[in-house]
Structures are given as structure tokens and as C-alpha cells.
Amino acid sequence: MDKPLVSVIIIFLNEERFIQEAVESVFAQTYDSWELLLVDDGSTDASTKIALQYAEQYPMKVRYLEHEAHQNRGMSASRNLGVRHAKGEYVAFLDADDVWLPDKLEEQVAILSSHPEAAMVCGPVQWWYSWTGNPEDIQRAHVVALPVQPDSLVKPPHLLVCLLGNETVTTTSGLVRRKAIESVGGLEESFHGLYEDQAFCAKLCSKASVFVASGCWYRWRKHPRSCCSVAVSTGQYRHARLTFLHWLEKYLRQQEIKNSELWEVLQKERWQCHHPILYRLLVPMQHLT
């Protein structure tokens, strides 16, 4: 095949239950100029075999990658491995337990082609509970929009300000220019799991413009084994957020980013994380004044 325009990167660690569905959602795309890089982060279940079978069956479209000696290096290092091997002008990340809607790549490529000043395009994400088939979960499914004007170009660092103050939104649905990823030094490999995507988003959105679309292309599967769910259930989430906020403060100082609105939100989020009980007491009172 000709050189693909889009490199799709799926990283996985023991995702035998869901990875095939993720891969099939890539094959179901209405846009065809893509390659798929399946990056194994040291799996010990059948997901390795599943990925190798796809690479063997579709050698012109799918490649299997792993770390040296089948090591577990973490999510950021695995994404970076995929980026280093990517041939496409654009990069799209898909988590192995999530799926895309069929028109994702076609519509996002068209948007980036029309907006050369944008480093990335992203849109709302569907919180996908209904995959279980349970009637009560079907009722819970909903779309979470980004807190900015849809179908607009957002200049830095405004999107980072919005994302920092609203933990329920994400840019995981994005299509990114590979050169933009490389220009910010890739993903932060100190983040092995939780907040690895937010750290990358912070690096990108603090310096580059992002087109925020109204279209929803990404289904984020909600289940108890997800990285976020495990962190919440084990009490690790607050520590992970504090680690991210400390890293972000250091990064902004190193990069000499002095936007006052961004720093104000960052300090507020840090204070809230350090004093969660006091914050919950004060916030309702603020609405009364």
C-alpha cells in the first residue's frame, strides 16, 4: 500500500476481552489511508496472540510492536514506541478497551486538512456504559462535551485551562499531527498509567492551537477494570492527580509559560487536592454569596 496518512496506535496490557472490538472499529472506518500499530506493554494473556494474528493476517495494514524482552514499560512509553514507528502524517490513539465510530478518521482528517494551523482536532466523548447490554446501563450512556465553543479553533493555553478545571472531559478522541507530538518531546514516560494522556495534552495545549469539533467519534468504555476505575476504587486517584499537578507546575515554569488564568486555575486545583474536605465545605458557601 502507499504510505498511510494516519497512524493508529493501540497500546495494550492484558486486554484479551476487548482488544478485538477496538481493532475491528479501526477496520470499520470509512477512511482507508491508515496503518495500525499494536503496541504490547508486556501482556501475559491472550491479547498478545490476538495482536500477532492481526499482524500476520493483514501485514500491509497492521504491525505488532513490543518493548525489549516483552517488558512492561507503561502507557506513555508504549505510546512513544508507536509514535517512533509511525509512518503517517497524523497520529490517532485508541485505547484497547474503547472503540471508534466509523466516520472518525474521515471527518477528522478533513478538519485538519482545512485547518493547517491546528495541531490537533478533538471532540466530545461518549461515556459508554451500554456495552454491557444491561437496561440500567443503557440509560447511563451520555456524551461529555469539551467546555469550549464547538467547531472552533482554540488558541493556547485556553483549552488547557478548561481541561484543568474540569476532570470529566478529555481530548482522547483526538487526531494529532505527528510533527506536533515530536515538537513537544512526545509523551511523558514518568507517567506509567493514570494522567499520562493529560500530561501529553498539557504539553500540546499549552503551546499549540486545537480545533474542537462538535462531532462525537469516540466511545469510552466504562468498566471496573479500567485504569481510572481501579485508581478510584483503590484510593490512588487523589495521589495521581497531585502528582500530575506538581509535574504541571514544574513544566510550566521550565517552559516559562506565564498565562495568569492558567496559573490561577492550577493553584486552585492544587489547593483543592490538598484540602478536599475543606474545599467541599467552601464551594457550596460560594454559591450563596
* CATH number of the CATH domain containing 180: 3.90.550.10
Q: Is the pTM of this model over 0.85?
A: yes
pLDDT tens digits along 34-47: 999 999 999 999 99
pLDDT tens digits along 256-288: 999 999 999 999 999 888 766 554 555 443 433
Q: Is residue 260 part of a domain?
A: no
Given this model, what pLDDT does residue 74 score? 96
Residue 117, pLDDT above cutoff 90: yes
| 91 or 230: which leads in pLDDT | 91
Q: Is residue 70 part of a domain?
A: yes
Q: Is residue 138 part of a domain?
A: yes
Q: Is residue 93 part of a domain?
A: yes
Q: Is residue 267 part of a domain?
A: no
Question: What total of structural domains would you count in the chain?
Answer: 1
Query: What is the span of the domain harbouring residue 64?
Result: 6-227
Q: Is the dihedral of CA 15, 17, 22, 24 positive or negative?
A: positive
Q: Is residue 55 part of a domain?
A: yes
| 142 or 150: which leads in pLDDT | 150
pLDDT tens digits along 68-85: 999 999 999 999 999 999
Residues 6+ apart with CB under 8 A from 111: 118, 121, 175, 211, 213
Q: Is residue 68 part of a domain?
A: yes
Q: Is residue 284 part of a domain?
A: no
pLDDT, average across residues 21-38: 99
